[in-house]
Amino acid sequence: MMLAGRNLIPPLALSPFYAVDPSFYTNLVRYGNFAATSIGQNCPVPPDRSTVLNYIKINFTNTQAIVFRADTTREIIVSFGGSKALRDAVTDISFVGVGYAACTGCSVHLGFRGAWVSISEQIRRAIAGALAVNRGYTVTLTGHSLGGALTSLAFADLRTMPEMRIAQAWAFASPRVGNHQYAAYVDLLAGATDVDVGSFYRVTHANDGVPLLPPTGFGYRHSKTEIWAGNDASGQPSAATTYRCYGNEPADCVNSQGGVGINNAHVFYPGINYGTTCK
């Protein structure tokens, strides 16, 4: 990821943020377009001249995903859908966690984990089938809202499988998924540090309240790297108002905006209008 060469806004101590390069923002919008498409079942005109390979829906957990082939970038893109079920999951007063066996001391949100487990085998089969006939392609994961949480869990599971060829992940508007051990595990898999952005991008917008849930008081923490899209004078996100933030819970990005729950900022992201589906 290329960053602009100067700090555009005076940073808080130990927590600077920097404007992203316009080319990075273009990629962000592109993967936002793919994240938006998984909201609806039908996708006759997929983004970026891609092709729909699979539509997957698990009815009993209301979990869905679309698998695309993007020949222009030689990648398989898996987009996880958001759902009204997110409202129940993030407002559940218990915020129940469950152990995550892949890393010592890790726990994740029970509801998010259940949704991922319900669809994970079909996702693995779809990716394996796509890669078998598209040699040399890599895999990108993306999703919005609940789909962002599923993107995190999919990345944590599939990144450890070389045959899945997971190159990167873009989690838009994701709630917190697990505890600090889990967040550190995702950072490790992504190669994310306070120097390197890694390959897992956690995108937030303005005062979206969903990334503030579940609360940190329940032991939940975000992974790096946060990309915060602020709004410009017209009230819209832009490349000039989008920043790379530092740390797992940076104080100067979405955490500083005072958002509450599912609000207008949650449903409008760069490349995403939650009121529309794939055309």
Q: How far is CA 175 from CA 89, 211, 245, in A?
A: 10, 4, 17
Among residues 208, 146, 133, the alpha carbon closest in space to that of 177 is found at 146
Q: How far apart are CA 31 and CA 55, in angstroms?
A: 17
With tokens 């920043």, the residue in question is 243
Helix, strand, coil shares of the chain as percentages rounded to 5?
30, 30, 40
Tokens of 76: 């398989």
Contact 69, 130 (CB under 8 A): yes
Among residues 82, 33, 90, 34, the alpha carbon closest in space to that of 62 is found at 82
User: What phi-psi label fits residue 86: left (phi over 0), alpha (psi between -120 and 50 degrees) or beta?
Assistant: alpha
Tell me the catalytic residues: 145, 208
